[in-house]
Amino acid sequence: MKSYRDKTVWIIGASSGIGHALARELHSRGALLVLSARNEDALQVLNSDLGRQHKVLAFDVGDDAAWTQAFLQLKKIDSTIYLAAAYKPGKIAQIAPEDAANTISINLEGAFRLLRNLLPHYRAQGYGQIALCGSVAGYKGLPGGQPYSATKAAIINLAESLRAETAHENIDVKLICPGFVKTKLTDKNDFSMPMMISAEEASRAIADGLLTEKFEIRFPALFAALMKIVQVLPYKLYFAFARKLNR
């Protein structure tokens, strides 16, 4: 995909945060959008702001039947971006079972539900792009980041596997790994978040990255590079570093 002009882009998780900003960015670049999330009212307001030029498709990513119904309403899809996410920070012993289940259902199982339906769709039309949203928080297990970090590590692994499995097909797989982005999710944090960027900056980085040939779209560049270094540290050094973060 060289341009968004007249391309159909499905944003799952468009009601707020990065997805909301990305919808505005891609609209400005001429994309035809399908806007999805659970909050239909928020999607309708967004679509109204964008001149009611796009399709609103509200559903719950945790509902298998809802996915089936969603695909019955879709025809050509050039790019699908999975940004739906749940996040509740806390240490492992403090995690409520329902919070863990909700995070896993939205962040990880929702991605699997998408792929079960989307891959046959793309194979039938002969092409397509898939972008899954991981996080630099998935590079390494950090104190206080569960279960969010675990699901994002799983998304990174899932995207890598998907890229390898579809290498012989006309399916472009992308992995999005943001650092700290100012959204309602990061507003829950009570710790310092270095090099934080706005959702608008994140949306521009994603929009630019999806048009390139690279697999991973990570930002902001310096923070992501530092986290890549942390990712490859030997465990002895890494756990010494993590202990300092946990104080």
Query: Mean pLDDT throughout 173-185?
Result: 94
Does 3 reside within a domain?
A: no
Please report the pLDDT score of residue 197 as a whole number.
95
Report residue 12 as tokens: 């799952």
pLDDT for 207 beyond 70: yes
The whole-number pLDDT of residue 99 equals: 94
Binning pLDDT at 50, 70 and 90, where does residue 233 land? very high
Residues in the chain: 247
Phi, psi angle pair for 171, to nearest 5°: -125, 120
Give the pLDDT confidence score for residue 145 in this predicted structure. Answer: 83
pLDDT in tens, 6-17: 999 999 999 999
The total number of structural domains in the chain stands at 1
Residue 97: inside a domain: yes
Q: Which amino acid is at 54?
A: H
- Residue 241 has what pLDDT? 84
**Confidence check: pLDDT of 246 > 70:** no
Q: Which residue has the higher pLDDT, 142 or 234?
A: 234
CB 9 within 8 A of CB 26: yes
Name the residue range of residue 178's domain. Answer: 8-245
Residue 128 has, within 13 A of its CA and on its CB side, a CA count of 23
83: in domain: yes
pLDDT of residue 247: 60
Residue 1 forms part of a structural domain: no
Mean pLDDT for the chain overall: 95
2 located within any domain:
no
Q: Does position 64 have pLDDT exceeding 70, yes or no?
A: yes
Would you state the pLDDT for residue 39? 97
Indicate the range of 72-81, 162-171, 189-198 predicted with least confidence.
Answer: 189-198
| DSSP secondary structure letter of residue 54 | S
**CA 93 – CA 230 distance, rounded (Å):** 25
CATH for 178: 3.40.50.720
The answer to whether the beta carbons of residues 156 and 227 sit under 8 Å apart is: no
Looking at residue 193, its pLDDT comes to: 87
Asked whether residue 223 carries a pLDDT value surpassing 70, the answer given is: yes
Tokens 């890598």 belong to 160
